[in-house]
Each structure stands twice: as C-alpha cells, then as structure tokens.
Structure 1
Amino acid sequence: MVSANQEMVVYCFDTLIAHYNSEQAPPPGFEEGQHPLFVTWKKAVNGAEPRLRGCIGTLEARCIVNGFRDYALTSALRDRRFPPIQAKELPYLECTVSILTDYEPALNYLDWEIGKHGLIIEFTDPDYNTRRSATYLPEVAAHEGWTKTEAIDSLMRKAGFNGAISESLRNRLRTTRYQSTLYTMHYRDYVSYVKMTRGEDKSVQGSSSNSIANGVLSIISGGAASPFLNTKDDDDLLVIRWMEEGLYESC
C-alpha cells in the first residue's frame, strides 16, 4: 500500500511554483500508484494557527503522479471557498497530502471513530428531491472538536442541505468511512529540502506577485470576469459539475 510521504508534498510545492514561473515541474521522487487522494493548503502568519486556503481531491482511485500534479493546482487556485493563492503567500504556506484507504460502509451515521475515520455521506434532499454528498478527512472532526452528531450535521450543511436536520434524516444517510495516511510540510522546510538535495534556491521568477495573481485569476475565469460565483443557482451548478468530475472539498 502506498503511504503519503515527503516527496509527494515536495512535488505539490514544485508544481505550484512551476505554475507561477510558467515552467515544467521537476519529475516526482515517488513511485506511481492508484489511490484516492487530497491536497490541502494552509497559511500561517506570525506564528498563528494555520488557516485553510484550499483543500480538494478525489474519492476515486487515480494515478497519484497526475493526481497530485492536478490537485496541487486545483486546491490552490480553484477552491470555490477562497480566492486563488497568490505567489506572495508562498512563504506562509504549508501543504498536506492525504492518501485515502480502507473504504467500508458504516452501519449507521455513528459507526465511526473521531480521529481515525474520514466520512462520506450521501442522501436525497427531502425538500428538493436532489442527491447530495460531502466528505471530511479523518483529521477534521478532531481538529474542530466536534461530536459525531455535530460532524454529521456539518457535513449535511456542507453538502448544501439547508432544511431542518432530524434524527430520521440522519438515519437515512448512506455513510461510508475510510482512513488515510498524510504528510505535512511547511514552505520553509521545502526550501531547505530542495537546497540540500538539488542545490537550488526556489523562488518565483519574473513578474511581481500581484501580476502573477492577476494572471491566475484571468486563467481561471477565462477572461476579465470574476472566477467566483455569486448566486445560489450558480453555486449549485458548480457543486454538481465538481461531483461529476470527481472533485471534492474535504476540509
């Protein structure tokens, strides 16, 4: 079984910096495999607790080399909850990669352990007769200090359900639990690692951070329009499209 490791995080940083520099990332230092995976970016300033800046991945197994390359950028630049990460934020970033394993159906919505299991819930919205789903990685509930019921209710809200949450509705959830391995690295440790192993000083070349960020916005939006969706209908359409593409926010 493939486990999350340092080289996977290094590859995610390599990929993001290569994007800003409009160049190819160095080849990865880990072997190919097939696994569900997630990439999480957090930002810490002045010693404060790191805050989420992007977290997207797939619940379906895929080639991990292409997967980490794609989701390193998708989570940094296309997480609909946040503006795209700018190059000037790099010194404050930490990256976590997660490899998901051991999928199994839960007997009910309480059949899982906080800190051990991630969750996928699926259900039909009784108000709109639409399918909804959402996931949290294993570390989320423990980090937030939630009970099992609080985590489930939060997942239902994350899935887009705005109605009353009843015990009857919770019992109708289709719940899948899973486990994961993860590895986290801060940008400063990435820079030290690259200097030690490659003799390189990593930096963003050429344009200023603001120019790079504006270019990212233009690429994502396909022009001058804002990449962020402002209406509920547009937001629901984006959720549906992301589900069809296998993209999930997990944090």
Structure 2
Amino acid sequence: MVSANKEMVVYCFDTLVAHFNADQVPPPAFDDGQYPLFVTWKKAVNGEEPRLRGCIGTLEARDITNGFKDYSLTSALRDRRFPPIQAKELPFLQCTVSLLTNYETASDYLDWEVGKHGIIIEFTDPNNNRSRSATYLPDVPAQEGWTVIEAIDSLIRKAGYNGTITELVRKSIQLTRYQSTLFTMHYGDYVSYVKTSRGAAPSVIGLKSR
C-alpha cells in the first residue's frame, strides 16, 4: 500500500508554483498508483491557527500523479467556498495530501470512530426527496472536537439539508467509513526541500523574495 508522503506534498506545491509561473511542473518523485485522494490548503498568518483555504478531492480511485496535479489546483483555485489562492499567499500556506483506504459499509450512522474514520453519508431529503451526500476526512471531526453525533449533524448540514435534524433523519443515513494516510508540509519546508534537492529556491512570479 502506498502511503501519503513528503514528495506528494512537494508535487502539489510544485504544481501551484508552476501555475503562477505559467511553467511546466517538475516530474513527481513518488510511485504512481490508484487511490481516492484529497488535497487541502490551509493558511496561517502571524502564528494563528491555520484556516482552511481550499479542500477538494475524489472518493473514487484514480491515478495519483494526475490526481494530485488536478486537485492541487482545483482546491487552491476553484473551491467555491473561498476566493482563489494568490501567489502572495504562498509563504503562509500549508498543504496536506490524503490517500483514502479501507472503505467499509457501516451498520448505522453511529458505527465509526472520531479520529480513526472518515465518513461518507448518503440520505434522501424528506422535504423534497432529493438525494444528498457529503464527506468529512478523518482528521476533521477530531480537529473540531466533535462527538460522533455532532459530526453527523454537521455533515447533514454540509450535504445541504436545511430542515430539522431528527433521529429519523439520522437513522435514514447510509454511512460508509474509511481511513486515510496523510502528510502535511508548510511552504517554508517546501522551499528548504527544493533548495536542498535542486540547488536553488523556487522563484515565483508575483511573490517578492523574502
């Protein structure tokens, strides 16, 4: 099994830097494979707790080289919750890559553990019969300090349900649980990696040298 690693995050930073420079992305330094994956960007300014800046991925297995290349840009530039990341933000960014594994059908909406499992919920909106679904990666409920039920209720809202969350709604959920490996790197560590491995720090159009 392939695990998320430093080279995968470097490739995501390389992809974003190449986008700002209108340049080619250096070839990846990791083995290819087929996995569901996510790319998460967070931004921390003045020592604050990092805040989400973009997170998009796929729950379907796909080629991870092309997957990281696509989703590093999609999550940075086209997450509809946020304005596109600009080059000047790079020094404040951290990137996390996640590879998803061990998909299992849960017996009910309570059949998972905070901090261990990511969850996918699917249910029918009782107000309009629309199918709704949403997911949280394994680290999200743990970082938020949620209980199982708090995470479920938050995910129901994320799926777009605006009605009253009743036990009947919760019990109608089909829940898939999964696990993940992840790796996080700050931009400063990426710059150090590039200096060491390639002999020069990355130069970015629109970003002043620091």
Tell me whether the two structures share a fold, i.e. TM-score over 0.5: yes
Structure 2 unaligned regions, length at least 5:
none
Deviations along 1:89-134, one digit per CA (max 9) or x if unpaired, are 0000000000000000011101001000000000111111111000
Alignment of 1:47 onto 2:16: no
Counterpart-to-counterpart distance in 2, 1:169 and 1:132: 12
Q: Please tell me the residue identity of whatever aligns with 1:108.
A: D
Alignment of 1:134 onto 2:134: yes
Deviations along 1:23-43, one digit per CA (max 9) or x if unpaired, are 111000001100000000000
Aligned CA RMSD, in angstroms, stands at 0.7
| Equivalent residue runs for 1:145-156 within 5 Å | 145-156=145-156
| Equivalent residue runs for 1:152-231 within 5 Å | 152-205=152-205, 208=206
Query: Which portions of structure 1, spanning 4 or more consecutive aligned residues, are displaced by more than 4 angstroms?
Result: none
| Equivalent residue runs for 1:68-79 within 5 Å | 68-79=68-79
Deviations along 1:215-249, one digit per CA (max 9) or x if unpaired, are xxxxxxxxxxxxxxxxxxxxxxxxxxxxxxxxxxx
Q: Please tell me the residue identity of whatever aligns with 1:110.
A: L
Normalised to the residue count of structure 1, the TM-score between the two structures is 0.82
Alignment of 1:104 onto 2:104: yes
| Equivalent residue runs for 1:22-37 within 5 Å | 22-37=22-37
Q: CA deviation at 1:169?
A: 1.1
Classify the secondary structure of the residue corresponding to 2:153.
Answer: helix
| Equivalent residue runs for 1:63-102 within 5 Å | 63-102=63-102
Matched with 2:38 is 38
Q: Please tell me the residue identity of whatever aligns with 2:178.
A: Y
Q: Please tell me the residue identity of whatever aligns with 2:96.
A: T
Counterpart-to-counterpart distance in 1, 2:141 and 2:97: 18
Moved more, 123-132 or 3-12: 123-132
Same amino acid, percent of matched pairs = 74
Counterpart-to-counterpart distance in 2, 1:56 and 1:164: 28
Q: Please tell me the residue identity of whatever aligns with 2:151.
A: A
Q: CA deviation at 1:190?
A: 0.2
Q: CA deviation at 1:155?
A: 0.3
Q: CA deviation at 1:136?
A: 0.1
Matched with 1:9 is 9
Q: CA deviation at 1:203?
A: 2.1
Counterpart-to-counterpart distance in 1, 2:111 and 2:40: 26
Q: CA deviation at 1:173?
A: 0.2
Q: CA deviation at 1:184?
A: 0.2
Deviations along 1:192-214, one digit per CA (max 9) or x if unpaired, are 00000011211213xx46xxxxx
Counterpart-to-counterpart distance in 1, 2:140 and 2:97: 14
Matched with 2:143 is 143
Counterpart-to-counterpart distance in 1, 2:117 and 2:106: 10
Normalised to the residue count of structure 2, the TM-score between the two structures is 0.97
Matched with 1:218 is none
Matched with 2:125 is 125
Deviations along 1:116-171, one digit per CA (max 9) or x if unpaired, are 00000001111111110000000110110111101000000000000011101101
Counterpart-to-counterpart distance in 2, 1:56 and 1:168: 30
